[in-house]
Each structure stands twice: as C-alpha cells, then as structure tokens.
Structure 1
Amino acid sequence: MNETRTAPAGGASRQPATSIPFRLEGVVIPVADYDRARRFYRELGWRVDADVDGADGYRLMQFTPPGSPASVLFGTRVTAAQPGSLDGLLLVVDDIDAARADLLDRGVAVSDVFHDAAGGLGGGFHIGDHGRAPGHDPERRSYASYASFADSEGNRWVLQEITSRLPGRTWEE
C-alpha cells in the first residue's frame, strides 16, 4: 500500500534525514521555438547530450552546462509550462566577472553584477530588478554577488558566485 506523508504544520519535518539519494538530474525548460533555443544553448558552449526527433511533433534537446552534474531539457511536447515562464534558474560560478565576460563574448545580454540591497544572500531572487544594488557584494562574501540573463525564449537565469561552500555542502553532493 502506498502512503503519502505530509510535513507537520509549519513545514518542518520531524522525520530523520533520508539515506536514499535524491539527485537532481535535469530541469525541463519551456520554449516556443525549438530551433532558436537549440542555437542559443549551443552558442553557450554547453554539451549536447541528446537531440531527438520523435513522432507527432515530439522533439527533445538535452544540454549540460560545463562542470554541472544536472542537465537542461527542452523541446516540443515535453512540458505544458508556458514558454519563457521560468524565472530564477540558478547557475553557480566560481568567478562572476569571468562568467559574465564569457557570456558577453558569446553575444548574450547579461546584467551588470549586483548584490542584495538589504545586505543578505538572496539578492538574485527578487521579482525583476527589485532588491538589487549595483556591484559586487561589498564584503565579497561567497553566495552574495549575482548577474542575470534571459535565454532566447525569455526564461531568466541567475548567476551566483560561490567561492566557498556553506558547511556540510560539497561540489560532489
């Protein structure tokens, strides 16, 4: 019998941490124009893992960003999400300035570097440009400097500079 458990009120689970690995393998991105999106992501230099033309208009493209264990998938008939509706897809980079320069060299319109105007670590995750202050985090803290760009379909990506991981986090997780 399958049983569904829900977290107690307040969202915090009282269950011990699971020993079963749950690994994010990929994210499905909604696009309107398959060929335009394919060109955009190829021009980013991301690895092509799959390019499938199936029956009845089904098309699937899978890309993996350099150094990422997770992939990006898009296509026709692969999601009901509206094209351009994703906002805040996160790409972690070691050097925000180098990542921004690379994107600019590839013809991508990328924002200037910014940080959270309130001084927190969530500066990349506000509606639009709300809560942004120009420039790098004044203390150059890890997790606190950002830039953003949109793909060819309007899905917004956020670059976050992480130079040292939070305790208990590793790049291999």
Structure 2
Amino acid sequence: MDWKIEVVPVPVTDIERAKSFYADKLGFNVDIDFTLPDDTRIIQLTPHNSGCSIALGAPTSMPPGSLHGVQIVVDDIATARQTLLTNGVDITPVQHFDGKTYVDGPGDDWNSWAFFADPDGNKWTLQERPATTT
C-alpha cells in the first residue's frame, strides 16, 4: 500500500498575495484556483516535479505564519537559492549543520540548507540532496 503526502495547507492572511509569492517568486504551478459555494477560495500550487502540493485558503485551525519546517529538496541549492534571490525572496546564505549550530557554507550529503519565509511568516527550508547517478 502506498502512503503519500499530497497536499499541505498553508495558513495565510491574504490569499492573492500568497498566490503571487508562491507562483511568481517560487515558481510553483497554479493547479487549482476556485471558489466554493460559501465563498471560500481555494488555490492549490505545486513545485516543479513535486508529488506534493500546497493549498492556500483551505480550512485549517493553524494561524497564518505558523507553518514551520516544511522542506523543499533540490539538486543544486546554490542555483535554487540564486533563483529565489533573483525573484525577490529574502533567503539565508547556504549553510550546513556542524553538530551544534548552522554555519555558512555547504556541507556534505543532505547537509546544505537555506531558509526563507513567505509574507505571512510561514517558514520553509531548502535542502540539497546528493547528486544521483544513473
């Protein structure tokens, strides 16, 4: 039996501002943008080649800005970070964990990170995975 995480709700205060951040600055694809009969607007966006999406406007008991620690995994963290910087995202330098704290500079496999937040303060982690060989 497959168990897959498909959608993560992201609590936001301004759905249009959040849509712009995730679509325009992060490059997520807008999969769904509709309004329910009760006037609740739902926007689902998916990162390029991801099996998991995010949902804006989905009913959640989490206050805006309370989502922390969701990781976006990339093949090349330096390039991904530069893309986000170019798109206006405030993101930390690439760092690695030295066993006690995060220090500047890339680390070895699975140990290169950069951190950013959306306009509501939801905190995201960018992580580099090891190069794959075929």
TM-score (ref. length: structure 2): 0.92
1:53-132 equivalence runs, <5 A: 53-75=35-57, 78-118=59-99, 131-132=101-102
Runs of 4+ residues over 4 Å off in structure 1? none
Q: Which SS does the other structure have where 2:130 is aligned?
A: coil
Q: String of CA shifts for 1:45-99, please: whole Å, max 9, x gaps.
A: 2111100112333111000001101101111x61111100011110001011000
CA distance in structure 1 between the aligned counterparts of 2:41 and 2:62, rounded to whole angstroms: 15
Q: Is there any run of 5+ residues in structure 2 with no aligned partner, and where?
A: none
Q: Which SS does the other structure have where 1:55 is aligned?
A: coil
Give the superposition deviation at 1:117.
2.6
Equivalent residue for 1:136, pick from 85, 103, 106: 106
Equivalent residue for 1:37, pick from 18, 22, 30: 18
- Which structure ranks higher in relative contact order (CA pairs < 8 Å, sequence separation ≥ 6)? 2
**Hey, which of these two has a bigger chunk of strand by percent?**
2
CA distance in structure 1 between the aligned counterparts of 2:96 and 2:67, rounded to whole angstroms: 21
TM-score (ref. length: structure 1): 0.72
Determine what percentage of the aligned residue pairs are the same residue.
Answer: 40
Structure 2 partner of 1:15 = none
For the pair shown, the structure with the greater C-alpha radius of gyration is 1
Q: Which SS does the other structure have where 2:38 is aligned?
A: helix
CA distance in structure 2 between the aligned counterparts of 1:97 and 1:164, rounded to whole angstroms: 13
Number of residue equivalences: 131
Amino acid at match of 1:30: P
CA RMSD of superposed structures (Å): 1.4
